[in-house]
Structure 1
Amino acid sequence: MDCAHYDAHRCRSCTLLEVPRADQLAAKTRQVQALLPDPDLEWQPPVVGPGERFRNKAKMVVGGTADAPTLGILDAAGSGIDLRDCPLHSAGLQAALPLLAAFISTAAIAPYDVTARRGELKHLLVTESEAGELMVRFVLRSQEPVTRISKHLPGLLAALPRLRVVSVNLQPEHKAVLEGEREIVLHGSTLAMRVNDLTLHLRPQSFFQTNTEVAASLYRQAAAWVAELLPVGETAPAQVWDLYCGVGGFALHLARPGLAVTGVEVSAEAVASARTSARELGAPAEFVAADATAWALAQDRSPDLVVVNPPRRGIGPVLAGWLEDSGVRHVLYSSCNAESLARDLAAMPSLRPRRAVLLDMFPQTRHYEVLVLAERTD
């Protein structure tokens, strides 16, 4: 991948950009296999997607001025570096960002000055679906610009006819937090994300994998493994929990007659998204808005299989301890941090890793996703 910003040392976020892709993948494979050294663990070939234009989401720090905004990152002095042509972004995101920069000027939204602690617009968050439809979220310090955004919104919708959702997120605190708790939706409600043969709904404040193509492979692999473990028969439905389920990617790919799937996610917006998708698909899956660990510990019986897809910190000792002591036969663990994955697996030694696959979800960086199937041995 060629990047003028990297070459000019304006942005060095792609830390492996100068490393050939094959060498990147080899290094990631060595690292994760060293962290999970079980000799009985069967590794499948890594899943590799495109090396550029794979990101379906742009998380842009807004700098500069209302008349000349920058969309990208800040330098060490707090000045904006414009990265609206970042080659990691999809073609649709690259086309939309200049129009959104023009809208910031039209609506006279002052970018937030980190050094001076004044201004309004902190971040611009833009998501594109496989169909080229868009969600745009303005992260503001206060509601002061909302009236102007609403006034000029028809012009933005005309300039971006595939814009389906527009919202304002309020993040009033001066700290390194991407967004706040309060969301004001100005247009639309959900963005339809087509993954494999399913349509998943994405509302503001809902997590979705950044790389749609590799995420589709992740869900297909999970569904294939579970289908082998829990074939549909004449007995009572097998029970599956999808903890940290987000908008229901795993749960909805696993749901089928004969399988009772329950997804648990702390984000009420994500759960609303998952319920909408399940209703439209007619999928036999239920979704609960709750803390995954607290919910699991409160149940009076354990399921046949648990899927976990936690944030980078992992599931932690409490949930790992519960899984170790439970009657759960299989755990399907999707992780973006192999170190916390290894720590969690060590805390449940009765559940031995049997199958694993590395997915190159974040090329040009040291990050990746890894899916592990663990089986109870006692």
Structure 2
Amino acid sequence: MQQTWLRWSSACCALAFFAACSSSPDKPKPAPLPAVSGEMVVKKVWTNAIGPVTTPLRASVHAGRVAVASTQGQVVLLDAATGKDIWRVKLSDAIQAGVGGDGQRFAVVTGRNELVTIEDGKVIWRYALTALTLTPPLVAGGRVFVLNADRSVTALDGATGQKLWMQQRAGEPLVLNQAGLLMPFGDTLLVGWGGRLAALNPMTGSVRWETLLANSRGTNEVERLVDLVAGVDRLGNTVCARAFQSTVACIDASRGSSLWTRSAQGHEGLAGDDQRVFGAESDSKVIAWQRENGQVAWTQTALRFRGLSAPLVLERSLVLGDDDGVLHFLARQDGKLLQRIGTDGSAIVGRPVLADETLVVVTRTGGVFGYRPE
């Protein structure tokens, strides 16, 4: 089920936000937990805690370190091997979006639309944004890039916070209450603008190319919503992305040319290997598409309506979290259910991440868990 609501950006324009609703009283009942083969053994090796996560926050991996944040203002850099804090910062404001980082500098956006950049556990600068931000900042090439809900992209100097440029694309007033697409690709910045994927020059903000991944459809704002969501799969020059409740598509990002597009009704990102692209639909049906042509390789329906996260490819498995804090391990080859592990009973937020050999997940109540396959 889905819902809309109104919020105000700091630019004083009314924006409507749209999200998948996990608490609706008439949401379909989750499928009973299915039997698993037990062919995969996964061991919990550590736990940590950061406080509740109720805003679009995502873990950020840098070699053997993981940066995480809580809505209440905690920003923590963890050692993925031990789960111990490398540093921890408590901001005075709630955090709305993050974490972005390059291993040296890390950035989040507060509920007051302030970009905050941290280095060695200390805040080094702040910058007031002009609109609400739901996408983690991108820290790359000595710069910090921000994608705002008004579809503007801002670039700032990573050391000083000086504004370098801003580029904006007009679009529908309705935007997703979740992270959008913002990622590096070689010397190019890839940005999701509505149903289009755009390549920007990171030095100037000029547009190099745009490719349509999904068309607006319908007669009202909800039906026309086609924003690209965070969680992109990349293999070489091929980038595969999801447009909210519309399509899954792969493009050649070196030229901006479409390779294939398939209808798909999901709202979480994708993952892939050299043969397939994986994703969960909004009803928690898991689908594997052939990377070469987009044909469906397999479908797993045993986890229907469990509120699955974006997937992570881990060895021969595919890992997805659910709304009950359960991690599900599926075989990449055919979708067979290999294993499942419970966390703390609250929803897995963001996608699971892999740091060196440690699988790291964060839950809604702020639990951070580290696992290793055996």
- Shared fold, TM over 0.5: no
User: Which has the larger share of strand?
Assistant: 2
Larger Rg: 1
Greater helix fraction, Structure 1 or Structure 2: 1
TM-score range, shorter chain: 0.3 to 0.5
What TM-score does the superposition give when structure 2 sets the normalisation length? 0.33
